[in-house]
């Protein structure tokens, strides 16, 4: 079935090789390979990518989020929706090891394929996850890009961090990814500071996918963009996620965004999960009073 | 009647909507829903509008929650209870074991018609070229001109959108096919094509659950009609 790929698929090799601190030739070759052709093979691992149980993060004596439980598998997009202050960004911080897990458990898949408790990872191991396994797309592109480095440089940088040394290969690979996110080739050497909001987000996405992560966190990636730009970006995210077999946790206040790209939706309010299920089920047949209010107030028309 | 196990079997299914925004008003819509869809048969849900036909369809597909009872689907050599299955299993069932032709196309902006149709094939592991080739064949059969294939269906006419939707639903071979007014906005010629496609699938062993007001189509394909009015909960309070 989907997501279960025989050993030797490019993604597996890349990850197995990436397990060592120094990248091997295999790693270089496979990441440098043509992603369009390997397509679905990128969804290497068949096990859970994240496994969360009763997890919470505390600010002083108050919990920012609490009692969160879910599993995330390759190829799955989980939307976390709620109003501002609902705890959804805290949850994202908790899952991505930027905030501490103060109760419960967050386990993530590490290079070997097994689930490892996030809290037990050293800083160095977490840095390696960010380099080889995880991406993070910020709401504000300036938080995720180097605004005065060229677009090509922004996309090539993660490859260098993964041991790529050959300038021509890095540039070719960056160009390929910029094309994939629909940035015209002749703008590769311009800086994101000169780009529109939609283009900046696309560069940010390329920067976060170029090294073949298995899990990508997204924090309101489309808010602040014009509606037409939003639709284009969402469609791009949707097709990339499907092609690469990525697991994604996307935080959004916009139920339309959740509907368009997520498989499952988790509704948050006051730091708690109010409702969780298939996205179309949550939106078409909301059970909780709060979800009914959200759906009736946002999805009119 | 065959003795092979049904592809879908609903038992004692009930549904009540709770409207929290209207003072937690309880709205019982269905109770005691029981029926079977045998392989190779088309079961049509009958009854007036408002009787709960679409609600049954959506509970089977998983976009409505089932309050009680069981909805057993033949899935991966076994049976999956859609009333209680976790989301991940419902998604797998949608991919592998049940197709859905809804009344309206849920258009995703910017995706060309041919890719809308090819998507379920890709999800089941077909190669891109193979999936697009099959999708093209289906679109041709449903007389969607080739010049429209690369355009997003959002701009198509109602009838064209519905045919894209039908092509998508028929793209993969699933043991169960759900049809919600599949021919509502089609002309006679295309209606004939759809009837032919339905019959082909039935003889290939697919079980179908359909909502279909069109008497001609219903006569042509229905093996059995389930009157949904029989599942109405007793009304205690007058409106």
Strand, coil or helix: B15: strand
Mean pLDDT (chain A, rounded)? 85
In this complex, which of A76, A277, A293 lies closest to B21 when CB atoms are compared?
A: A293
Helix pair angle (A167-180, A25-32), 10° resolution: 40
Task: Please tell me the distance from the alpha carbon of residue B105 to that of residue B113, in angstroms, as a whole number.
Answer: 11
Task: Please tell me the distance from the alpha carbon of residue A100 to that of residue A118, in angstroms, as a whole number.
Answer: 9
Per residue of chain B (239 residues), give pLDDT as tens.
Answer: 446 789 999 999 999 999 999 999 999 999 999 999 999 999 999 998 889 999 999 999 999 999 999 999 999 999 999 999 999 999 999 999 999 998 777 766 778 999 999 999 998 889 999 999 999 999 999 999 999 999 999 889 888 999 999 999 999 999 999 999 988 889 999 999 999 999 999 999 999 999 998 898 999 999 999 999 999 998 765 44
Q: Whose structure tokens read 């007058």?
A: B238
Asked if the C-beta of B67 comes within 8 angstroms of chain A's C-beta atoms, the answer is: no
How many domains would you assign to chain B?
1
Torsion of CA A64, A67, A71, A77, to 10 degrees: -40
- What is the pLDDT, as a whole number, of residue A148? 94
User: Which residue in chain A is spatially nearest to B116 when comparing CA positions?
Assistant: A239
CB contact under 8 A, B111 and A235: yes
Task: Please tell me the distance from the alpha carbon of residue A188 to that of residue A38, in angstroms, as a whole number.
Answer: 24
- What is the pLDDT, as a whole number, of residue A18? 37
- What is the pLDDT, as a whole number, of residue B43? 98
**Closest-CA residue to A132 (of A116, A107, A153, A112):** A112
How many Å separate Cα B149 from the centre of its chain?
23
How many CA atoms are closer than 13 Å to the CA of B7, on its beta-carbon side?
25
CB atoms within 10 A of CB B220: 18
User: Which residue in chain B is spatially nearest to A294 when comparing CA positions?
Assistant: B21
- How close does chain A come to B106, measured CA to CA in Å? 10
Task: Please tell me the distance from the alpha carbon of residue A177 to that of residue B113, in angstroms, as a whole number.
Answer: 25
**Closest-CA residue to A209 (of A247, A172, A171):** A247
- What is the pLDDT, as a whole number, of residue A103? 95
- What is the pLDDT, as a whole number, of residue A17? 36
- The answer to whether B156 touches B148, Cβ cutoff 8 Å, is yes
Residue at B236 is within a domain? no
Residue at B239 is within a domain? no
Query: In terms of residue numbers, what domain contains B103?
Result: 38-66+85-231
Task: Please tell me the distance from the alpha carbon of residue B102 to that of residue B58, in angstroms, as a whole number.
Answer: 10
**Residue B224 main-chain phi, psi, to 5 deg:** -155, 140
Q: Which residues of chain A have pLDDT under 50?
A: 1-45, 301
Residue at B76 is within a domain? no
Residue at B27 is within a domain? no
Helices (H) and strands (E) in chain B, counts: 7, 9
- For chain B, first and last CA: distance in Å? 43
The ipTM estimated for the assembled molecules is 0.91
Q: Residue B184's domain is classified under what CATH number?
A: 3.40.50.300
- What is the pLDDT, as a whole number, of residue A284? 95
For Cα atoms A157, A41, B110, give the angle at the middle one, nearest 5 degrees: 75
- How close does chain B come to A53, measured CA to CA in Å? 16
- How close does chain B come to A142, measured CA to CA in Å? 27
CB atoms within 10 A of CB B193: 16
In this complex, which of A232, A285, A292 lies closest to B20 when CB atoms are compared?
A: A292
CATH class, range A10-298 = alpha beta
Residue at B46 is within a domain? yes
Q: Which residues of A touch B18 (CB under 8 A)?
A: 287
Task: Please tell me the distance from the alpha carbon of residue B190 to that of residue B230, in angstroms, as a whole number.
Answer: 33
Strand, coil or helix: B181: coil
Residue at B44 is within a domain? yes
Q: Whose structure tokens read 């089932």?
A: B66
Sequence-distant (≥ 6) Cβ neighbours of residue B65 within 8 angstroms: A277, A281, A285, A287, B59
- What is the pLDDT, as a whole number, of residue A13? 35
For chains A and B, CB pairs below 8 A equal 60
Domain chopping of chain A, boundaries: 10-298
**For the residues of B47-98, what is the DSSP string, one character each?**
S-TTSSHHHHHHHHHTSS---EEEEEEEETTEEEETTT--HHHHHHHHHHTE
**Closest-CA residue to A211 (of A130, A121, A124):** A130
Q: b/e for B66-101, b at 16 or more Cβ within 10 A?
A: bbebbbbbbbeeebbbbbebebebbbbbbbbbbbbb
- What is the pLDDT, as a whole number, of residue A112? 80
């Amino acid at each position: 079935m989907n997501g279960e790929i025989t050993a030797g698929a490019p993604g597996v090799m890349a990850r197995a090789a990436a397990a060592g601190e120094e990248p091997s030739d295999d790693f270089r070759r496979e990441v440098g390979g043509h992603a369009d052709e390997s397509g679905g093979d990128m969804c290497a691992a068949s096990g859970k990518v994240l496994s969360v149980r009763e997890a919470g993060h505390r600010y002083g004596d108050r919990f920012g989020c609490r009692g969160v439980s879910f599993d995330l598998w390759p190829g799955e997009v989980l939307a976390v929706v709620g109003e501002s202050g609902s705890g959804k960004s805290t949850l994202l911080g908790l899952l991505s090891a930027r905030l501490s897990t103060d109760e419960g458990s967050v386990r993530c898949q590490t290079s070997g394929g097994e689930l490892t408790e996030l809290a037990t990872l050293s800083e160095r191991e977490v840095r390696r996850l960010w380099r080889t396994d995880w991406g993070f797309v910020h709401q504000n592109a300036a938080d995720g890009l180097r605004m005065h480095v060229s677009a090509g440089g922004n996309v090539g940088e993660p490859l260098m961090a993964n041991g790529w040394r050959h300038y021509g290969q890095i540039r070719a690979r960056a160009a390929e990814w910029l094309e994939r996110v629909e940035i015209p080739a002749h703008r590769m050497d311009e800086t994101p500071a000169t780009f529109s909001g939609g283009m900046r987000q696309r560069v940010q996405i390329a920067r976060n996918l170029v090294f073949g992560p298995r899990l990508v966190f997204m924090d309101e990636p489309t808010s602040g963009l014009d509606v037409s730009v939003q639709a284009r970006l969402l469609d791009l995210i949707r097709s990339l996620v499907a092609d690469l077999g990525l697991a994604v946790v996307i935080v959004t206040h916009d139920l339309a965004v959740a509907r368009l790209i997520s498989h499952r939706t988790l509704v948050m309010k006051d730091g708690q999960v109010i409702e969780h299920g298939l996205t179309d089920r949550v939106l078409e047949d909301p059970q909780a009073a709060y979800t009914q209010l959200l759906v009736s107030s946002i999805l009119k028309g | 009647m065959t003795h092979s196990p049904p592809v879908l079997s609903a038992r004692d299914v009930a549904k009540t909507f709770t409207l929290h925004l209207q003072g937690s008003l309880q709205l019982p819509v269905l109770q005691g829903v029981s029926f079977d869809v045998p392989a190779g048969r088309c079961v049509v849900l009958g009854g007036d509008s408002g009787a709960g036909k679409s609600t049954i369809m959506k509970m089977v597909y998983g976009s409505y929650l089932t309050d009680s009872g069981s909805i057993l689907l033949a899935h991966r050599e076994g049976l999956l209870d859609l009333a209680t299955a976790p989301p991940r299993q419902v998604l797998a069932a949608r991919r592998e074991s049940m197709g859905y032709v809804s009344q309206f196309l849920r258009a995703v902006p910017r995706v060309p018609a041919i890719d809308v149709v090819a998507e379920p094939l890709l999800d089941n592991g077909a190669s891109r070229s193979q999936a697009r080739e099959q999708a093209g064949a289906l679109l041709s059969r449903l007389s969607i001109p080739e010049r429209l294939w690369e355009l997003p269906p959002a701009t198509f006419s109602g009838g064209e959108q519905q045919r894209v939707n039908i092509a998508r639903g028929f793209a993969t071979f699933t043991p169960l096919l759900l049809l919600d007014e599949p021919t509502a906005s089609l002309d006679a010629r295309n209606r004939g094509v759809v009837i032919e496609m339905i019959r082909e699938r039935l003889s290939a062993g697919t079980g179908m659950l359909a909502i279909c007001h069109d008497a001609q189509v219903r006569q042509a394909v229905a093996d059995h009609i389930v009157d949904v009015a029989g599942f109405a909960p007793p009304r205690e309070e007058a409106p």
